[in-house]
Structure 1
């Protein structure tokens, strides 16, 4: 049996199709819009970043990473979604902090000199 045939048989098995009709699959898939948007925004002006919202999304992803491993059965797709979102939001949080605090302090020191 070819590798492609094995893959296709596994992909279209009753077990896989049953899983794809659950919220364990569609919840994380629809949730992936959040980290995708955050990753795409990494190139935008840091003035557009909301510090409080980024902080909330960092905490939200931490909570749901834990939740995804606490439910039965463990939802690794949900964990992956929130892990990617955690990294993206930490990147945005760093950019926000740098723009609002680190860069402004450097600018103030230059003005004083």
Structure 2
């Protein structure tokens, strides 16, 4: 690609994406609110690797409801805030995953398996 073509491509990119309207949007709460909110889904995705015994059922339930409400809000405001919607959609999926892990651990048998393994280890140590 010649330098003239590169200059033309960069000018085209800049005029399309780095214009007055884009800069105006970047300096609003419509942009920075969702960007700062992305800490919640990032933490939720990171927590999917942690031990199930540490999951708080009530907090996970609250975050599922919170994210669902804000997904609806993000689509209701004008102009529609797709960045906020995406942030809470990611959080909703992560929190539902945490909720499934919580229920599986506490109610559907994974916890019982761990307790049985601990009892086996304790009984084997006592018999020696």
2:102 corresponds in structure 1 to 96
How far is the alpha carbon of 1:105 from its aligned partner?
5.5
Q: Which has the bigger relative contact order, CA under 8 A and spacing at least 6?
A: 1
Match status 1:85 vs 2:86: no
Long gaps (5+) in structure 1: none
For 1:79 and 1:45, how far apart are their aligned partners in 2?
Answer: 29
For 2:115 and 2:48, how far apart are their aligned partners in 1?
Answer: 26
Long gaps (5+) in structure 2: 1-7, 120-128
**Greater CA radius of gyration, 1 or 2?**
2
Root-mean-square deviation (CA, aligned residues, Å) is 2.0
Aligned positions, number:
110
- Tell me which of 41, 61, 69 is aligned to 2:67: 61
Per the normalisation by structure 2, the TM-score is: 0.77
- Tell me which of 46, 53, 57 is aligned to 1:51: 57
